[in-house]
Structure 1
Amino acid sequence: MSTSSGDNMIDKPRTLLAMGRRVGERLLTAPVRERLVQVADVDPYLVADDFTDPRARAALAEAEVLYTSWGCPPITADVLAAAPRLRAVVHAAGSVKLHVTQACWQRGLLVSSAASANAEPVAEYTLAAILFAGKRVLEIARLYREHRGELDWDARFPGFGNYRRTVGIVGASRIGRRVIELLRPFELDVLVADPYLTDDLGVPHVELDELLARSDVVSLHAPALPETRHLIDAARLARMRDGATLINTARGVLVDQEALTAELAAGRLYAVIDHTEPEVLSADSPLYDLPHVLLTPHIAGSLGGELARMAELALDELSRYARGLPFEHGVAAEALARIA
Structure 2
Amino acid sequence: MPDRPRALFALDPHNLPLLFPPDVLARLRELADIDPALVVRDFEDPGIRDALAGAEFLVTGWGCPPITAPALERLPRLRAVLHTGGTVKGLIPGEGWRHDIVVTSAAAANALPVAEYTLAMILLMGKDVLTARDHYRATEAFPPNLVRADIGNVGRRVGIIGASRIGRRVIELLRPFDFDVVLHDPYVDEAGAAALGVRLSDFDALLASSAIVSVHAPATAETHHLIDAARLALLPDGAALINTARGSLVDTEALTRELVSGRIRAVLDVTEPEPLSAGSPLYRLPNVFLTPHVAGSLGNELRRLGVLMVEELRRIRSGAPPEHRVDLAQLEITA
The alignment's TM-score, normalised by the length of structure 2, stands at: 0.95
The corresponding residue for 1:271 is 266
Contact 1:10/1:322 (<8 A) preserved: no
Alignment correspondent of 1:164: 155
Paired residue secondary structure (1:45) = coil
Work out which of the residue numbers 256, 266, 277 in structure 1 matches 2:251: 256
> 1:320 & 1:44 partners in 2: Cα distance?
22
CA contact (8 A) 2:135 2:142 kept: no
| 1:25 to partner: Cα distance | 4.5
Q: Which moved more, 1:157-166 or 1:291-300?
A: 157-166
Secondary structure at the aligned position of 2:274 is classed as coil
* Match for residue 290 of structure 2 among 291, 295, 299: 295
Q: Which residue of the other structure, out of 98, 110, 113, is the alignment partner of 1:121? A: 113
Between 1:293-302 and 1:43-52, the stretch displaced more is 43-52
Corresponding position: 1:67 with 2:59: yes
Q: How far apart are residue 152 of structure 1 and its match?
A: 2.3
Q: Which runs of 4+ in 1 moved over 6 A?
A: none
Q: Report the equivalent of 2:23.
A: 31
Write out per-residue CA displacement over residues 99-124 of structure 1, whole angstroms, 9 at most, x where no aligned residue.
12323433431111100000000000
* Residue equivalent to 2:242: 247
Tell me if structure 1 keeps the 8 A contact 2:19–2:304: no
2:75 counterpart (67, 80, 83): 83
CA RMSD of aligned residues (A): 1.4
Moved more, 182-191 or 323-332: 323-332
Tell me the secondary structure at the aligned position of residue 306 of structure 1: helix
Counterpart in 2 of 1:313?
A: 308
Q: Among residues 205, 210, 232, which one is paired with 2:205 in the alignment? A: 210
Are residue 219 (structure 1) and residue 214 (structure 2) matched? yes
Alpha-carbon shift at residue 82 of structure 1 (Å): 1.1
SS in 2 for 1:42: coil
- Kept in 2, the 8 Å contact 1:23–1:71? The answer is no
Match of 1:174 among 159, 165, 179: 165
The structure-2 alpha-carbon separation of the partners of 1:107 and 1:204, relative to structure 1 and needing over 3 Å to count, comes to: closer
Indicate the larger mover: 68-77 or 214-223.
68-77
Question: Is 2:313 the counterpart of 1:322?
Answer: no
* Aligned residue number for residue 3 of structure 1: none
For residue 282 of structure 1, report the CA deviation from its aligned partner.
Answer: 2.1
Shift of 1:39: 1.0
Alpha-carbon displacement from aligned partner over 1:117-169 (angstroms, at most 9, x marks no partner)? 000000000000000000011211111111211322257x5421101000000
* Cα offsets for 1:20-50 (capped at 9, x unmatched): 2323353232223212211112123211111
Q: Find out whether 1:112 has 2:126 as its counterpart.
A: no
Contact 1:37–1:44, Cα closer than 8 Å, also in 2: no
Letter of the 1:313 partner, please give it. Answer: L
1:190-229 CA-partner distances (Å, limit 9, x unpaired): 0000111132322101111111011000000000001101
The CA deviation at 1:10 is 5.4
Length-normalised TM-score, structure 1: 0.94
**Are 2:326 and 1:334 aligned?**
no
Q: Secondary structure at the match of 2:34?
A: strand
Task: Measure how far apart 1:11 and its partner are.
Answer: 5.0
Letter in 2 for 1:147: T
Return the match for 1:57 from 44, 49, 72.
Answer: 49
Deviation at 1:184, TM superposition (A): 0.2
**Post-superposition offset of 1:316:** 0.5
